[in-house]
Amino acid sequence: MKRREFLKGMAASSAGVAASTMIPFGGKALAGRKKKDIGMVKSVKVQCISETSWFDNATLGKDIKAAGGINTNQYDVVYNQENLGGYAALIEVEALDGKKTKYLLDTGWSNDWMDYVFNKDGIDKMLKSKEIDTLIVSHDHIDHYWGIESTLKHQPGIKIYMPGGSMEKSFQLLKGADFKKPQVKNSVPHTGELIVTKVNKIYQPQTGMAIVYFDAPATLQVRGENVVYFNVKGKGIVTVTGCCHPGVLTLINYARRNFAGGEKNYGCYGGLHISVFENWDPKFDDIIAGVKHYDMTKVACNHCTGWIWAEKAKAAGIPIVMGTDKNKSYKKVGTLAKAKTSNVYIGNGDSVMF
Amino acid sequence: MNSPDNPHGWLAERTLEPRWNPLVSGLVNLAVMLAATFACWWLLFSTSGVYQLYTPLLGFSLVIWLLLITVWQTEIFDFWPLSRNFLRQANPLAKGGALTAMMLGVYAVFILGLFFYLIGTYGITYFNWHSLTTHGKLGQDVLSARETTSWAYIALSVPFFWFSVVFALGVGRDVWPTLNQPRLGLANWLFVAVLALPAFFLLFHPHIGFMFYPAQIYAAVPPWWKGLAQTTSSEFSLGIIFDSVIMVFLTIHLWRGRPWNLVEKQPWRFLLLAIGSLALGLALFKTQLAIMDYMWDEAYIGGQNEANFGWRYSHTVTMGAFIVVPAMVLNQQFGALFKRLGTLAAGLLGTVLAVALGLGFAWLYYEFGPALLGVCEGVSHPSENAAAFLIMIMVLLNIQDNFMDGWPGYRLKR
């Protein structure tokens, strides 16, 4: 539903008096949907290049608080540079004919950190050789997008799927820009194909794979997120996310309503954006109940999911895919590793097969 | 609240007259109010302002309590300790300044002093975010802890608000007919507090106990309303109770206190307020939920944003507040235009206008708020809450009308 329609619909919710004049705006929500057959893939492997977007929650919290709080524009915050990491994942898709294709999901934050993890996993070489020729930007949040230079310096002409709701400054960054206050820069302008995703459209880089843009709200005035879906033969739908701002159940329900075979949700990977700063709210218990209802086979989560959510979800019987201690061998570790939490996250260097 | 010495209460006793033509007076007051609203927003709330309270719950928790304190000052304590002579003679600005200072003083003593510093430091951790960060471990950093504490204060205000309104209008001096202020106000206020605190523990404490990991099961039972509300969030109770208060506000401002003031005998008046306000609140709550179901399909357990039950429950309050603001403006700033109309005609006309203006106001807020106020774009944004803005306006409207006799557009008729 478009935002304007959404807002007008919202206004209508306040009183029955006005309901009759607003009814047309809600029609689409109830309309029948034709399901799209996106085809199938044989398998999907997701490797966690980095899920530690920052290394200390409290430090980032202080930076954001000093700038005016969680609703401040992300380009108006002064970030402690020592604290920055980034989020990125390598997606390897095996088609039904056995052909393998690699996609980069997100490009992290700190160039120092991203250069380090790209080198560690050989991503830099894959970019240079064009073994990876597509970058899917989930959204333009600091930790998913601001490390764009680390990707472009290896392949300026990489094809990019960029969410349509991205900030104007984020598009400027892509073209080459240097923002002094938040200390983010890109000195390698993008020269390749740029696909700016829009709502109500399904993008298919290959058969069995779909990118869908959700107009969902996020913190620091960021809006909108690209989500990647796969239909894995014999298993079902696999959802791969950056932060999952639309909500994990929204994504599951989208697949159910819009994809042929979407009733079977096999698994998911990525940040689920629940207890981001390890804060908690009873509403998050509702999400556990909701996810459990869909009976997924593999829930591989990390990043903004919140360790607490993953831990509680596991205790509730959700099939959380366990990570390893690999992340502890990296040059820096995050808040959770320091707190010696259990491995309910797919951590840096871990991978999951769907 | 009236007393034997002042049988009508100051707000009922005073007569205001427009300083100029009623329409001009109303428009001038509206312009002053708009200027004050933007000034206060940028000073207190804006993320680029001075105090940056738009977190959003921190600022919300402040203004909801300030609004409640204005109700205590006017309806329960009848402007005590200011004398009738002072209220009649003083310059509106001096009077407004004194009463606003008292409002802030009560907040400082009751919320900051008693709850935040005393109880939050030596009794209940969640009432002070410093205590949460000091004693808490993973997840208890200042950004999260501040919101947790702010939510606790918002939750605490809910039962206090409902009981205060029900007591002010439904009981008045009937329990203690011979008492004068401040004994009368204090007696009723204590009665409100004695009832509000258990209600808080029943309806909201279980939610707050589950805002931590592990859940504080030895201090708070698991949210018992889960099956009823389809969420473990206490926004269910918050929605119904605040909607009840909203409906009482609407009857006061649009229906000249009907139907509550039609019944004088006790306990019928009290029961009418208690049951009637909840019934009206539930109707507002359910009606809005039905419309939301139609607009966006049904909410589902664990859904996010507009698909979340808790968000929908809270949003009924936000949308109700969008109606209350124009209702207050119509009554306080343009009331003189409706004076000749009978209660029924004025009520019907006022209701239609308030709903229409409220919907328009909501559209303006969500369309232009990001540019004008720096608020987040979108209706169901997890860190956006229009109620902070709306309740701040209600506080300013009460200051202008109740504390300053509608200055500058209106003045006290002598």
For residue B56, cis peptide bond before it (omega within 30 degrees of 0): yes
Chain B partners within 8 Å of A76 (Cβ): 48
- Residue A170, token pair as written in the block: 């984020």
DSSP secondary structure letters along A277-313: TS---HHHHHHHHHHHHTT-SEEEEEGGG-HHHHHHH
Residue pair B330/B338 in contact (Cβ under 8 Å)? The answer is yes
Compute the half-sphere exposure of residue A122: CA atoms within 13 Å on the CB side of its CA. Answer: 7
Residue A169 lies in a domain: yes
Residue B412 lies in a domain: no
Q: Mean pLDDT across the stretch B395-412?
A: 96
Q: Is the pLDDT of residue B132 over 80?
A: yes
ipTM of the complex model: 0.88
Residue B308 lies in a domain: yes
Least confident of A333-337, B19-23, B349-353: A333-337
- pLDDT tens by residue, B272-326: 999 999 999 999 999 999 999 999 889 999 998 899 999 999 999 999 999 999 9
At B4 the pLDDT is 62
Q: Is the pLDDT of residue B337 over 70?
A: yes
Closest CA to B155 of B53, B76, B233: B233
Q: Is the pLDDT of residue B388 over 50?
A: yes
Q: Is the pLDDT of residue B91 over 60?
A: yes
Query: Rounded to an integer, what distance in angstroms lies between the CA atom of residue B269 and that of residue B276?
Result: 10
At A24 the pLDDT is 33
DSSP 3-state assignment of B411?
strand
At B378 the pLDDT is 85
Residue A259 lies in a domain: yes
Residue B256 lies in a domain: yes
Nearest CA-CA distance, residue B332 and chain A, Å = 22
Residue A262 lies in a domain: yes
Question: Cβ B379–A10 below 8 Å, yes or no?
Answer: yes
**Residue ranges making up the domain that contains B133:** 10-404
Residue B3 lies in a domain: no
Output the CA–CA distances (angstroms, integers) from residue B41 to A41, A284, B34, B304, B371, in the order listed: 53, 31, 10, 28, 13
Residue pair A128/A162 in contact (Cβ under 8 Å)? The answer is no
B7 Cβ contact partners less than 8 Å away, ≥ 6 residues apart = none
The residue with tokens 């409207």 is B397
Which among B137, B294, B308 has CB closest to A26? Answer: B294
DSSP state of B334: T
Domain count, chain A: 1
Question: Cβ B305–A223 below 8 Å, yes or no?
Answer: no
Chain B partners within 8 Å of A167 (Cβ): none
Output the CA–CA distances (angstroms, integers) from residue A324 to A205, A250, A261, A349, B299, in the order listed: 31, 29, 32, 9, 37
Classify each residue of A242-260 as buried b or exposed e, where b means 16 or more C-beta atoms within 10 Å of its C-beta.
bbbbbbbbbbbbbbbebbe
Query: Rounded to an integer, what distance in angstroms lies between the CA atom of residue A90 and that of residue A45?
Result: 8
Sign of CA dihedral A6, A7, A8, A11: positive
Nearest CA-CA distance, residue B282 and chain A, Å = 13
Question: Cβ B232–A283 below 8 Å, yes or no?
Answer: yes
Question: Cβ B303–A249 below 8 Å, yes or no?
Answer: yes
**Residue ranges making up the domain that contains A84:** 40-348
Residue A12 lies in a domain: no
Chain B partners within 8 Å of A62 (Cβ): 142-143
Query: Rounded to an integer, what distance in angstroms lies between the CA atom of residue A244 and that of residue A226?
Result: 9
- Residue A28, token pair as written in the block: 């689409």
Residue B92 lies in a domain: yes
Instruction: Tell me the count of A-B CB pairs closer than 8 A.
Output: 218
At A6 the pLDDT is 37
Question: Cβ A290–B301 below 8 Å, yes or no?
Answer: yes
Residue A14 lies in a domain: no
Closest chain A residue to the Cα of B226, Cα to Cα: A286
- For residue B64, report the phi and psi dihedrals to the nearest 5 degrees: -65, -35
Residue A16 lies in a domain: no
Domain count, chain B: 1
What does each of the 354 residues of chain A score in pLDDT, given as a tens digit?
Answer: 344 443 343 443 333 333 333 333 334 444 456 899 999 999 999 999 999 999 999 899 999 999 988 889 999 999 999 999 999 999 999 999 999 999 999 999 999 999 999 999 999 999 999 999 999 999 999 999 999 999 999 999 999 999 999 999 999 999 999 999 999 999 999 999 999 999 989 999 999 999 999 999 899 999 999 999 999 999 999 999 999 999 999 999 999 999 999 999 999 999 999 999 899 999 999 999 999 999 999 999 999 999 999 999 999 999 999 999 999 999 999 888 888 889 999 999 999 999
CATH number of the domain residue A318 falls in:
3.60.15.10
Closest chain A residue to the Cα of B227, Cα to Cα: A286
Which among B52, B358, B378 has CB closest to A217? Answer: B378
Residue B112 lies in a domain: yes
- Residue A69, token pair as written in the block: 């709080």
Residue B239 lies in a domain: yes
Residue B384 lies in a domain: yes
Residue A18 lies in a domain: no
Nearest CA-CA distance, residue B91 and chain A, Å = 38
